[in-house]
Amino acid sequence: MNEVLEILEQTGAVIKDSHFVGTSGKHMSVYVNKDNLLPHPKETFRITELLAIAHKDLDVDVVVAPVVGGVILGHLVAYHLSKLQKKEILSVYAEKTAEGPMIFKRGYENLIKNKKVLIVDDTVATGFSVNKMLDVVKSFRGQILAMGVIVNRIPGEINSKILGIPFSWLCEISAETYDEKNCPLCKSGVPINTKVGHGKEYLESKNK
């Protein structure tokens, strides 16, 4: 078994046989929950080391990740890359806004402008978060060298050719995603999971 997939399975980060709602609003039966991985320092340290090794030949200035859990991943990848390249590589994070797009604050915008950037994240399930990260780095004039994630669930839809940048992942966990109107889980009456993913927010928005 792929080492990364084995770690995700061991830490309970791969959750199956439920009805989840992702960041994009898509529905799915399998969810990769980084919140089950991150409490385990040794395992998180190893996965971020592998992400760094995958990008060890890039001349990176700064690693960028999204809040909240991505902050840990970004910092550790920057730490490992700094050791591999024997230079300081910074780590900053992009924050959510009420309007939708992400933004750099806290002076981090000055660490992005005209800098060579590696973007990291945990999971690609729909491509929604990937594109938000690409947009925010471009809007703050960062030079994107590559993006790397732990899990790519839709490699046929999100890849280097589609994105126009080097894009890589450590493992694949395939799973179908559905729009609400076409969701077989909804049609079968499977309750939406409100403890993992964005099911709680989704239901609250429907009830308004």
pLDDT tens digits, residue range 36-59? 999 999 999 999 999 999 999 999
d(CA 144, CA 3): 28
- Where residue 144 falls among pLDDT bands split at 50, 70, 90? very high
Amino acid identity, residue 116? Answer: K
d(CA 71, CA 139): 20
- Where residue 100 falls among pLDDT bands split at 50, 70, 90? confident
pLDDT at 20 over 70: yes
d(CA 15, CA 36): 10
Cα 150 to chain centroid, rounded: 7
Ordered by where they begin, the domains of the chain are 3-207 (3.40.50.2020)
- Where residue 127 falls among pLDDT bands split at 50, 70, 90? confident
Question: What are the residues facing 62 on neighbouring strands?
Answer: 90, 117
How confident is the model over 148-174, as pLDDT tens digits?
999 999 999 999 999 999 999 999 987
Question: The whole model's pTM is what?
Answer: 0.87
